[in-house]
Amino acid sequence: MTLKKSQINEIIDAFQIMFPDAFCELKHSNPFELVIAVLLSAQCTDVMVNKVTATLFQKYKTPEDYLAVEIETLMEDIKQIGLFRNKAKHIQQLCHQLLQNYDGVVPSTREELVTLAGVGRKTANVVISTAFGVPAFAVDTHVERVAKRLGLAKIDDDVMRVETKVMKLFPESMWTALHHQMIFFGRYHCKAQKPGCDVCPLLHLCKEGKQRMGIPLRKRKNVQP
């Protein structure tokens, strides 16, 4: 369905009421730690990442620190994280690239960030918006699910199309906050398996939710040829 401006405003209002202070839950103190944390978060919960990085960030402060140990040592340090072997390799490759190409400093543009090992568009968007204050909209599994349920994107849209459609519907000044609010909405309310449809202020916009609650969908009017 195509959402009206009034419905977009309803979504904005609901998110603002429910999660006015939504933020990046990956704990970090600088852009470098954020890049590492987001890289580790792929197919892993933020809770687990924060548990691991609480020790990791005490041990490793700079790109040089990560490169000063054997890969097996780094793997052992992050073994609680899913795909830890590949992620350890990506971390060391990323650190090498930072030192070789950026004087050890995390770049602040998406174009530069995506050249780093283990950094895709989502990670780059999170970093430029959270660490550098550049308006960006990152799409993770929570954001994708919420966007499709609320009719902001089609069910068969890929991640790039979801990102593009949402950015067109909402003002640029809202992109970063909206990203965090949609994550909170998907993580704590509109969950994958047990969404809070019975108390959802946006149920009327959600076809899946109405079906789940047994609410009849409005039939389309017959169009005469």
Largest CA distance in the chain: 72
* Number of other CB atoms surrounding residue 172 within 10 Å: 10
Whether the Cβ atoms of residue 148 and residue 190 lie closer than 8 Å to each other: no
Angle between helices 31-41 and 121-130 (to 10 degrees): 150
Coil vs helix vs strand at 128: helix
Whether the Cβ atoms of residue 74 and residue 89 lie closer than 8 Å to each other: no
Whether the Cβ atoms of residue 85 and residue 92 lie closer than 8 Å to each other: no
**94 phi, psi to nearest 5 deg:** -60, -45
**177 phi, psi to nearest 5 deg:** -65, -40
Instruction: State the Cα torsion 34-40-43-47 to the nearest 10°.
Output: -70
Question: Can you tell me the distance from the alpha carbon of 222 to that of 225, in angstroms, rounded to the nearest whole number?
Answer: 9
Sequential DSSP letters for 106-126: --SSHHHHTTSTT--HHHHHH
Catalytic residues: 122, 140
